[in-house]
Structure 1
Amino acid sequence: VFSNKMAIPKCLGTVIILLLLGSYAHYHGTIEDQKAVSYIHNCVNSPDQCLNEPLVIRIRTKVWMANIATADVKFGKDYHTEQSISVIGIRGRQQAGRIIDLLGHFDERRNFVAARQREDDWVQTIKYIASLLGLGLCLWLFVTRYSLTM
Structure 2
Amino acid sequence: MNYMGAWHSGRQLIILLKYRRSIIDLKIVKIKSHLSQLNLLINEQIREYNLLKQQLNRFIPSGVLNRSEIYRNIRRQGVLLSRQQLYIIKLNQLDDEKMRQEQALQNYQSEKCFLEKKHHKITCNIYRQYTDYRMRSDNHTEDDELELICYDKSKL
**Normalised TM-score (structure 1):** 0.34
The higher relative CO (CA closer than 8 Å, separation ≥ 6) is in: 2
| Greater helix share, structure number | 2
| Greater strand share, structure number | 1
**Normalised TM-score (structure 2):** 0.33
